[in-house]
Amino acid sequence: MTRIFISHSHSDEAIARKLVDYLFATLTVGDTDIRCTSVPGHRLPPGTNIESQLKKDISGDIALIGLLTQNSLRSRWVLFELGAAWGMGKLVVPILGPEANKDDLPGPLKSYIPVSIEDEEVAYALNDMIQALASNLNEIKERPEKRAERIRNEFIRELKAWKPKLPTPVLSQQKEIEELTKKLEESERSQPSEQQVNLESRIKLAQEELAEKQLENADLLKRISKLNEQLKYSTGVKIIKIFLASSSELKDDRSQFEIFINRKNKEYIKKGTFLELVLWEDFLDAMSSTRLQDEYNKAVTDCDIFVSLFHTKVGKYTEEEFLKALETFKAKTRPSIYTYFKDSPVKITSEVRSLLDFQDKLDQLGHFYTRYNDINHLKYLFDQQLTKLKEIEAASQIQKQTLEPSYQTKIEEKDSKINQLQEQIDQLKERIELL
């Protein structure tokens, strides 16, 4: 039966192992007394319903240790486990890793006194944690083990050495810039000026190459968009307009979402549907007799689906677009509105408060929003919504019906052109992925 539950991110498995070793060295616990889902011997058995088992574990006579790093603070499971333990009145001990602080804890969990790796007396705090576990858990006692101090210090060293795992691969040019900059700093202290000049030159070249690739990526996306325009008018299809609203801080997610929509079109065009993605970038070169934002708002009223992405702030224009979509929905029962918040621990600033205020406003409106961890999670969530759209299903059914011979002949005549356009789009996508 689980007595000590370690809530953590699987990305922090190495740290979790050290913590399990420390608990074994200091408390009279067996293998079944500790639940740590990334450590062998303490994982969930194959075939287990994860959510049901976690609820069962947390509802028992347990204490929960939250191993909190920037990885775990982004995990919905960790937040679920912490919140459940708090709600059931369990002993909760947050252990804060590097770059994590008490302000990162959600809501009522801020009231718990954490063990912080940044604290000079972290070793004494861990000893106090062991005493608290022993006094709160029936039949669990402290061990007078001499090796406990050594294992505790190993855990401290592992946690202090924690580095964040990047959610997506970093461009090689960016890594090269960081490495060369480091070498340059070292050379300024000990190497001749000639080597410094050489390193500065290499850094500049790497930066220029990175900028060129970014421009090439943007150019390829524009070319894909134009080809999709040609493709959608090559045959009679149901066009579904999707307006994507977000601030510039989610530029990478916006680009990846656009690529995702283009890939879905390859599938949906065969079902008689074309997804037309509307982005504010498409309006940058447009002329308007009024402010450009009015053009965006008009596009919102014309769309079938409105998708908004938020991260650390809510800009006034993005909020304006959301309210315009909501106003249009109330009048016309369209567009369908999907709102997504990107999970990541952030410090409370005036911008973040705008995010929290906006979430409160959504709650008051009765509008449900969804959280996502990274771009792959977002694509999965939105793909699930696409499969539920009645417009796509209706267009698919029409395509399956027997077409008139004359119309069928016209479609067959255009098949070659469609295939050529689709091949060009696929080739451009492959080039983007190689950047």
Residue 58 token pair = 């947390």
Of 131, 160, 189, the last residue of a domain is 160
Q: Are residues 130 and 178 in the same domain?
A: no
Query: Within a domain: residue 47?
Result: yes
* Residue 389, domain CATH: 3.40.50.10140
pLDDT of residue 314: 84
Final residue before a domain boundary, out of 120, 141, 160: 160
Q: Are 27 and 151 in contact (CB under 8 A)?
A: no
Looking at the structure, tell me whether residues 307 and 397 fall in a common domain: yes
Q: Are residues 347 and 429 in the same domain?
A: no
Based on the fold, state whether residues 123 and 261 are members of the same structural domain. Answer: no
Domain contains 296? yes
Q: Residues 101, 152: one domain?
A: yes
Torsion of CA 251, 255, 260, 262, to 10 degrees: 140
Strand 63-68 and strand 273-278: pairing?
A: unpaired
> For residue 162, what pLDDT is reported?
75
Asked whether residue 226 is assigned to any structural domain, the reply reads no
- Number of folded domains that form the chain: 3
Is residue 225 assigned to a domain?
no
| 228 within some domain | no
- Is there a single domain that holds both residue 329 and residue 265? yes
The pLDDT, as a whole number, for residue 19 is: 92
Say whether both 155 and 243 belong to one domain.
Answer: no
**Are residues 212 and 309 both part of a single domain?**
no
Strand duo 336-342 + 305-310: pairing: parallel
Tokens of 107: 């809501």
User: Are residues 91 and 200 located together in one domain of the fold?
Assistant: no
* Rounded CA Rg of the chain: 27
18, 149: one domain: yes
CB count, 10 Å around CB of 151? 18
Predicted local confidence at residue 110, as pLDDT: 78
Provide the whole-model pTM: 0.40
C-alpha closest to that of 299 among 245, 231, 237, 371: 245
User: What is the extent of the structural domain holding 125?
Assistant: 4-160
276: tokens are 């037309």
Residue 95 placed within a domain = yes
Residues 360 and 266 in one domain: yes
In a domain, 341, yes or no: yes
Distance CA(65)–CA(115), nearest Å, equals 10
For residue 118, tell me if it sits in a domain.
yes
CA atoms within 13 A on the CB side of 211: 6
Boundary-marking domain end, from 160, 176, 192: 160
* Residue 51 sits in the same domain as residue 94: yes
Torsion of CA 20, 22, 24, 26, to 10 degrees: -150
Return d(Cα 111, Cα 82) in angstroms, integer. Answer: 13
Instruction: List per-residue pLDDT tens for the chain, 435 residues long.
Output: 889 999 998 888 889 999 999 898 899 988 889 999 888 888 888 888 877 888 888 888 889 999 998 888 877 788 878 888 888 888 999 999 887 877 777 677 777 888 988 888 888 889 899 999 998 888 888 887 666 788 888 888 888 887 665 444 444 555 656 666 666 666 655 555 566 666 667 767 776 776 676 666 666 656 665 665 555 554 456 788 899 988 778 888 888 898 888 888 877 777 778 888 887 655 544 434 445 566 777 888 888 999 999 888 887 778 888 888 989 888 888 888 999 998 866 555 666 777 888 888 888 888 888 889 888 999 989 988 888 776 555 544 544 443 444 444 444 555 555 556 656 656 665 655 555
